[in-house]
Amino acid sequence: MKVVTAAEMRQIDQDTIEGIGIPGIVLMETAGSAIVRAIEQHYPTCQRIGIFAGKGNNGGDGIVIARQLAHIGRDVRLFLVSAPESFTGEAQINLEIATKLGLQIEKILTGARFDGTGTVPTTLASCELLVDAIFGTGLRGAVRDPIATIITAINRLPTPILSVDLPSGLDADTGHPLGVCVQADRTVTIGLPKRGLLMHPGAEFAGKLEVVDIGFPEQVVNAQDIKVNWTSAAQASQWMPPRPPFSHKGSYGRVLVVAGSTGMTGAAALASEAALRAGAGLVTLAIPKRLNPILEGLLPEVMTLPLPETDVGSLAASATSPILEFAKKTKSILAIGPGLSQHPETVSLVHQLIRENREQRVDLRMVIDADGLNALAQDRETLSRLNSEAVLTPHPGEMARLTNTAVPTLEADRIGTAQQFASEHGVTLVFKGAPTVTSDPNGNLWINSTGNPGMATGGMGDVLTGVIAGLMAQGIPSESAAALGVYLHGLSGDIAAETLGMHGLIASDVLKTVPQVIYSLTQKMPEPKR
């Protein structure tokens, strides 16, 4: 699903009205109807509903909602936060209709009426649901009084709040509040999701997010050449390859995991098993030779490749040639980094693997994470030797080291950060966080829709590395495998949390649910309950 900026949404709206000829009043009526259906679905027992309407199109949507709810028998109270004479366009038309129909309309033109002594607080206290239709994507600058005071008062009420399109006061592009912002329990956004609804902290202000289609023509949307997408179950299902009845283990590719060191065998084990759980046919783990007995016993389904080691039990630089020879012979995807250590020789190994892969034109596809990324950060010129099939999966700290940029600066624009890095270095970048975003070298970006705070524990990144590598082994293009892997990983965490709770959730819990999630996608079933 495409994700829009405020400017893109306005252009789609304008082109639909002026270019296609669908009147704005029709779009507003359709939007109102869609949101009324959402209210009927999610709040079927709420009879007394208060609707706050601003003077723009968002307020116009709110007035349509008020009229339609009244028509089906709900007790509706319409609160205007702007003077009636300031309403324009379709909002003005709908206000005139609501007035003629005799809807209960109250003007709230001053925040002082929320001091607890007027009639408005009493009216609001009796409402079972509040609908926020004050500001939409057209908001410019910080919210000022009296509306700022009104929003603050709304937020203090125990009544559930449904926001129309955006929580009022939220920046549609960045997800940051413009001063004060409505704290919604649910947001029903119109047409397409806005960036700010999916990014932190906007997602927290939006609550549960629902997107309703109001008929924007596909050709109008496509004309915007929108690069940002929201990964959905439908998209993930399209990316998953079939498994024909007469296939065999060789049909699903091989992964060579280059990982592990003394004290960090768990990272190597998690990444290797994750590649198998994601569907790879064969997985081999390249490890320091002293760790071979441990990991052979721990992973019966994974083959091992014992290699030269340093004196502290990490992979030595001399392991470069056997790794490349094995990967080239077996046509394996390389997953490099989990638990490797930052020993100077091991760092040199990473640099040599990347350099010789380029110079010898081996053209191996790689997923690089953890200490593989830390090695790149020590020699950023190595980045220029990666091919376009490489996938890098940094968390914010690793991204800061790769770019020599402070974490708060990177987090302020996760989308722009990922797109710029991927384009500059010609790789696919998975910028992990809340939410994780995946960008390919052409600027196409996917915002992930799954995952939960319980996944903030050690080993989760190792599982993600293995999942992405396992998907790539099955022939999925790097950028699709990366975005799909992030989605599967997050949804597996959601399923595990549904059963076990978020507190104490560990990486192996997530690992075990990966096949269940893949099954649900390949069978075109609804997402597993979460």
Ordered alpha helix ranges (H), 233-303: 233-239, 265-277, 292-298
- Lookup: tokens for 161: 């709040």
Question: Do residues 45 and 168 share a domain?
Answer: yes
- Domain coverage including residue 142: 6-226
Q: Is 395 inside a domain boundary?
A: yes
Which CATH number covers residue 50?
Answer: 3.40.50.10260
Q: What percent of the chain has pLDDT over 90?
A: 88
**pLDDT class of 119 with cuts at 50, 70, 90:** very low
CA distance 96 to 168: 23
Q: What is the CA radius of gyration of the chain?
A: 27
Domain's final residue, options 226, 241, 272: 226
Pair (297, 178) in one structural domain: no
Kindly state whether residue 472 falls inside one of the protein's structural domains: yes
* CA distances, 425 to each of 370, 376, 384, 516 (Å): 18, 12, 6, 35
Q: Are strands 428-431 and 391-392 parallel, antiparallel or unpaired?
A: parallel
Tell me, yes or no, whether 408 and 468 share the same domain.
yes
Q: Which of 191, 226, 261 is the last residue of a domain?
A: 226
- Answer whether residue 530 shows pLDDT above 80: no
φ, ψ for residue 497 (rounded to 5)?
-70, -35
At 432, list the tokens. Answer: 């992990």
Judge if the upstream peptide bond of residue 242 is cis by omega within 30 degrees of 0: no
Same domain? For 178 and 287 the reply is no
Looking at the chain, the whole-number percentage of residues with pLDDT higher than 70 is 96
Residue 522's pLDDT is 85
Instruction: Categorize the per-residue pLDDT at 118 as very low, low, confident or very high, splitting at 50, 70 and 90.
Output: very low
The CA distance from 68 to 523, in Å, is 39
The answer on pLDDT for 529 being more than 70 is no
Whether residue 51 contacts residue 62, with contact meaning beta carbons closer than 8 Å, is answered with yes
Q: Look at residue 526 and tell me whether its pLDDT is greater than 60.
A: no
Task: Say if CB 349 and CB 272 are below 8 A apart.
Answer: no
In which residue are the tokens 């099939």 written?
389
What is the number of domains present in the chain? Answer: 2
* pLDDT at residue 31 greater than cutoff 60: yes
Give the integer Cα–Cα distance in Å for 361 and 331. 13
Q: Do 311 and 170 have their domain in common?
A: no
Nearest-10 crossing angle of helices 396-403, 371-378: 20
Contact by Cβ (8 Å): 17, 26: no
Same structural domain, 375 and 498: yes
Residues 314, 176 share a domain: no
The per-residue pLDDT for 360 is 82
- How many other C-beta atoms lie within 10 A of the C-beta of residue 338? 31
Mean pLDDT value of segment 98-114: 81
Note whether residue 479 is domain-resident: yes
Pair 222, 263 in one domain: no
At 171, the amino acid letter reads D
Residue 238, domain member (yes or no): no
Both 330 and 473 in one domain: the answer is: yes
Residues in the chain: 530
**What average pLDDT does the segment 87-112 reach?**
88
pLDDT at 527 over 60: no
- In a shared domain, residues 195 and 276: no
Residue 367 belongs to a domain: yes
Q: What pairing do the DSSP bridges indicate for beta strands 129-133 and 161-164? A: parallel
Q: What is the pTM of this model?
A: 0.93
CA-CA-CA-CA dihedral for 48, 54, 58, 61, to nearest 10? 40
Query: H or E segment at 94?
Result: helix 89-100
Q: Are residues 135 and 58 in the same domain?
A: yes
Q: Is residue 283 part of a domain?
A: yes
The answer on pLDDT for 528 being more than 80 is no
> Residue 243: its pLDDT value, please?
87
pLDDT in tens, 433-459: 999 999 999 999 999 999 999 999 999
Spatial neighbors of 42 by CB under 8 A, at least 6 apart, are 162, 186
Q: Is residue 1, in this structure, part of any structural domain at all?
A: no
Whether the predicted pLDDT of 218 surpasses 50: yes
> What CATH number has the domain bearing residue 352?
3.40.1190.20
Check residue 87 and give its pLDDT: 94
Q: Does some domain include residue 237?
A: no
The pLDDT tens digits for 360-399 are: 888 899 999 999 999 999 999 999 999 989 999 999 999 9
291 and 194 co-located in one domain: no
Min mean pLDDT across 246-260, 341-355, 512-526 is at 512-526
Backbone angles phi, psi at 131, to 5 degrees: -110, 120
- Report d(CA 148, CA 180) in Å as an integer: 6
Give CA–CA dist 450/32, Å, rounded.
Answer: 28
Give bridge partners of residue 437 from the DSSP assignment. Answer: 431, 447
Please give the structure tokens belonging to residue 443: 């600027």
